[in-house]
Structure formats: C-alpha cells, structure tokens
Amino acid sequence: MTQPSFATHEVFNQSPPFEEVDLFALDRPLVEAVKANGGAAAERELSEFGRQWGSAAMAERGRVANENTPKLRTFDSKGNRRDQVEFHPAYHELMAHSARAGMHNSTWTADGNPAGDAAEVIRAAKFYIASQVETGHLCPITMTRASVAALAMQPDLLGRVMPVLSTKSYDPNFAPWWDKRGMTLGMGMTEKQGGTDVRANMTRAVRDGDAYRITGHKWFMSAPMCDAFLVLAQADQGLTCFFMPRFAPDGSVNAIQFQRLKDKLGNRSNASSEVEFVGAYAERVGEEGKGIRTIIQMVQFTRQDCAIASSGLMRSGLAHALHHARHRSVFQKHLADQPLMQAVLSDMALHVEASVALVMRLCRAFDRTPHDPAEAAYMRLLTPAIKYWTCKSAPAFLYEAMECLGGNGYVEDGILARHYRESPVNAIWEGSGNVMCLDVLRALARETDAAMAVLQGLAAETKGLSGAGEAISFIGKTFRRADGERVARLAVEKLALLAAAAALNGVSPRHAELFAVTRLAANHASMYGAVELESGEVRALLERALP
C-alpha cells in the first residue's frame, strides 16, 4: 500500500544567505571613500579583511556570541570573591580576529605616537566592516585604542603599557597585564547621581605613596574583563583621571567588585557592569584636578568609533535589504525591480553613501590633526556633529531595512533584528544627542575663528551644490543667536548634512548633488523613498551599493 507523503512544502522564492562575500570590494562607496582619503595602498589588505569578515564562519560567531551572553561569577564555590565575567568562546574568537587586524592599536606606533599616513582611514574601514558582523565586542576594541590618547598625558605610564598594548595578540587569561601577550582597557566615568555630569562624581581617591586608593562606585563600566580601566575620581585637587588595573602591583586581585551586569537592549555580547571600588589601587593619569581634560583625549576617539559603527550598521542593513530584494519575487517581478521598492532602496543607498564618505573624511582629519591646524579644527568641531547625525540616523534606517525583508527581517533568525537593537547605543554612549549639540556650541565659542574657517572650507567644498549656500547662511545665523542652544539640534543636523555633502563631493560629485537636492535644498521626508530620483540615478546608486 502506498504511503501518503507528508511533505507540505518546498522552500523557494527566498534569498540565500548574504555570506561568503567580500564586504570591502562589494562596497564601491567604501572603496572610493577610502581611496579619496588616502587609503588606496591598503586595498588588497582591506579586501582580504572583507572576505574574512564576510565569511559564514564570522557570521556564525557573531550570532553565537549574542545568543550566549556574558555571565558574572561574583564568588567561587567556597565563597571567595571572584569578580570574573565568563564569555562564550565565539566572543573570544571575535576579539582575537579584531586584535590580529590591529583594530585596537594600529593608529599608534609602538611607543604610543600617532601612526600617521592613512592609519585612521584604513583602521576605520576595518571597523566599519566588522561592525556589520558583530558590534558588541568592538566596545573594548574601541576603548583600548582610545585609551592611548589619555595615557599620553602620563608618559612614564604609557611607556610601561605600550609594549603589551601594541601587540596584535588577544590574551583572555585572568592575569596581571604585565604578564600577558596583549591587553585591553576599559573606562568608568558615570555614576548614579551624575551620569553625563561627571563633575558630580563622588568616588574618592586618596594618595597612598606614589599611587592612590579609590573608593566609590560606577553606574556604567563597560567591558569589565579588561586588564585595566581609566576611571574618574575626586582627588585633593579635584576630578582626576586614574589607571586602575585588575591586579595590584603585588599580583593580588585589585579591589574592584562587580555588583551586576547590565541587562541591555542590545550590545548583548559585550558585558557592561555596575561596580564598587573598595580601596582599589590606581595610578594617576595627568594632573590632579585635570581629569576631564585628560579623559576627553580618549572620548574624541570613542565618539569617532560610534559614528563609524553606526554607518557600518546602516551599510549592513542596506546590503541585506538589497540582497533580499534581488532574490525575492513579488507580483511576477523581483522585488528589486518594483518601482516603489527601488525608490526606497536608492534613497537608503544615498544616505549610506554620504555617511561613509563623511566618516572617512573625519578619519582623514584625525590622521592629519597632529601636523595640520585646519584639520584639527575640523576634527574638534565636526566629531560631535557627525556622531549626532550618523548615530541618530541608524535606528530609523535599520527599521526601514527590516521592513524591506518583511517578516523575515523582524525575526531573530536573521541579523537585522540584532542590528536594530544594537543601533541606539552609539547615540547614547559617549554623549547623547543634546551633549553633542552642546559640544558643537562650545567648540564654536572657544575657537570661533578656527570654527569659522571650517565653515568657510565647507562652503568652498560645496560651492554649486543645491541648497549649500542657504545651509551655510542658516548655520552661521543660528550659531550667532543668543538663544542658540534652543535651536542647536536643527543647526547641528544642518552642519552634519553640509559636511556630508562636502565629503561626498570629494568622492562622487554626481551623488553629492543628489544628496544636496534631497537633504539641503529641501527637508528630507521622514520616510525613505519619499523623494523622486531619475531611473538612471536609481540604477547607479543600487549598482554602487551592491554590484
């Protein structure tokens, strides 16, 4: 007797996994932005990196690291304090790959000086690609890289740390940093009562010989398994920056007691903690009372990475949406050939193209800052503006990318739900939107002439683009207003859009004009695809985004 078949369906009309691809070579806007900003010589290195991070194996590591979140082991089985965080092996593998690529130190020489040439641009391209695969582990990568700028305020300490920090090894062992093959650094600034207002910090530092003992708490301290942390505490002369290792000089575990790990919306693979210091050993970094001046050297770099990572997340959202649309048939056509979907995807592609051009232009400024005052002024004025625009753009953009996949975008089987949860952290970390706007206002007030020179440079670079002249006039008038803070968000967004148009004009003038027409000459609609682009421009944008 013939048995009935219980097969109810076959799988078809679904897109294949977006894996085993070169995340660098497939991204023409990235390739061209790197070249325009001095990184052309690294194309082979970046393509190799793009193939590695575009592999199915790397995608799987990202998935597993986020599904198996860190666990705090406060005590051992006998009741002794342990204060260790356990991670899934996939997290450690991601960290090892990032360290091997030098993402935590390649912008510095072995003795802690800026590497020069296009080191920032090349490293940013890697960071941009890696963020498309797994963003959480990049938090300690970012802080380790940025910490060198603060440690430079204490040359003797920097000299001791760099031989370990400058290696391309990742060493997850719980051991004193000076005995390890490589090290990572975290930071602890915010407290319950103050948050962004770190001057309200109550953690106290008491001198103990040449070192200090620190007592207090931190409401957020990311990556608690780092080998050392830069923390802020009140010393006799005021708020001061300190280097706090996990182990004291005698080899004993330092008095850093983790209370719990944060239960976060995203950034799940990375641990963030609440912590108490109970007379913890620390060394001063910089002068007493100059803690903010010291730590801000580090914060500029972490803000830069927030902008890069947000742009990378948006790029990934676009790539997955476009890849899906090219394989999915709806109403007898591929989804990518439907005019309304083309309008959405091309508008999104234009946004990403401007974003990557802008962050790479910013990284060029970081490369040139040590020897070019004009680039230093660009970096100081525009870092907060660029962080503001790119980071606050990402959540809405990634929602749109999810919608392009329909239900497949909303479920946890794919990467876009994780990207969506991840995206708000970059706008919140290292200064929320309002803080970024206030920092732009401060830069204008403290360095008025230099800031005006930056605006003049942007005016020259956008000359002839639709709406650019009006944007320059609006920005200048708004920032001169006595109530400028009240309307700062509008002016800072316009400043970022102008800078994006200028950066894109140096990469692809044709698309810079499209960006200017839709973003400067008119207010961009709140929904992607609610602009009209010629069919030829639509095809060109989509082909550049994903050949």
Q: What are phi and psi of 244, to 5 degrees?
A: -120, 105
Residue whose C-alpha is closest to residue 229's, from 137, 108, 147: 147
Q: How far apart are CA 427 and CA 265, in angstroms?
A: 13
Which ranges constitute the DSSP H helices of 270-331? 291-327
- Please give the C-alpha separations between residue 369 and each of 115, 162, 301, 479, 534, in angstroms, as whole numbers: 12, 22, 12, 24, 40
Q: Determine the 3-state secondary structure of 526 from DSSP.
A: coil
Residue whose C-alpha is closest to residue 386's, from 306, 506, 478: 306
Predicted pLDDT of residue 197: 84
Predicted pLDDT of residue 45: 98
Residue whose C-alpha is closest to residue 241's, from 170, 326, 321, 158: 158
pTM: 0.96
Q: How far apart are CA 390 and CA 132, in angstroms?
A: 15
Taken in order 19, 22, 23, 27, the sign of the CA dihedral is negative
Which ranges constitute the DSSP H helices of 152-226? 155-165
Q: How far apart are CA 196 and CA 189, in angstroms?
A: 8
**Is the CB of residue 137 less than 8 Å from the CB of residue 98?**
yes
Q: Per-residue confidence at 3, pLDDT binned at 50, 70, 90?
A: low
Strands 185-188 and 228-235: parallel
Which residues make Cβ contacts (< 8 Å) with residue 329, sequence separation at least 6?
Answer: 13, 335
pLDDT digits (tens, 9 = 90+) for 63-109: 999 999 999 999 999 998 999 999 999 999 999 999 999 999 999 99
Measured in whole angstroms, the distance separating CA 82 from the mean position of its chain's CA atoms is 31
Q: Determine the 3-state secondary structure of 473 from DSSP.
A: helix
- Residue 108: DSSP 8-state: B
Q: How far apart are CA 220 and CA 388, in angstroms?
A: 21
Q: Determine the 3-state secondary structure of 136 from DSSP.
A: coil
Predicted pLDDT of residue 484: 81
Q: How far apart are CA 34 and CA 4, in angstroms?
A: 60
Residue that is written with structure tokens 């009562």 in the block: 193
Q: How far apart are CA 293 and CA 286, in angstroms?
A: 9
Predicted pLDDT of residue 2: 65
Measured in whole angstroms, the distance separating CA 54 from the mean position of its chain's CA atoms is 19
Judge whether residue 8 has pLDDT over 80. no
Which residues make Cβ contacts (< 8 Å) with residue 407, sequence separation at least 6?
Answer: none
Amino acid at 317: G
Q: What is the mean pLDDT of the segment spanning 305-329?
A: 96
Residue whose C-alpha is closest to residue 29's, from 392, 419, 315: 315
Q: Per-residue confidence at 7, pLDDT binned at 50, 70, 90?
A: confident
Q: How far apart are CA 515 and CA 511, in angstroms?
A: 6
Q: How far apart are CA 32 and CA 53, in angstroms?
A: 20
| Residue 501: how many other CB atoms lie within 10 Å | 29
Predicted pLDDT of residue 480: 85
pLDDT digits (tens, 9 = 90+) for 13-53: 888 999 999 999 999 999 999 999 999 999 999 999 999 99
Q: What is the mean pLDDT of the segment spanning 522-528?
A: 91
β partners of residue 256? 277
Q: How far apart are CA 346 and CA 541, in angstroms?
A: 6
CA angle 76, 80, 84 (to 5 degrees): 55
Where are any strands of DSSP class E within 307-355? 329-330, 333-334
Residue that is written with structure tokens 């990742």 in the block: 170
Judge whether residue 479 has pLDDT over 90. no
The answer for 226, left when phi > 0, alpha when psi is -120 to 50, beta otherwise, is beta
Question: Angle of helix 43-53 relative to helix 119-130, nearest 10 degrees?
Answer: 20
Predicted pLDDT of residue 496: 98
Residue whose C-alpha is closest to residue 413's, from 50, 137, 67, 138: 67
Predicted pLDDT of residue 195: 79
**Is the CB of residue 248 less than 8 Å from the CB of residue 281?**
yes
- Residue 113: DSSP 8-state: S
**Is the CB of residue 514 less than 8 Å from the CB of residue 533?**
yes
pLDDT digits (tens, 9 = 90+) for 404-462: 999 999 999 999 999 999 999 999 998 999 999 999 999 998 999 999 999 999 999 99
Q: Per-residue confidence at 242, pLDDT binned at 50, 70, 90?
A: very high
Q: Determine the 3-state secondary structure of 218 from DSSP.
A: strand
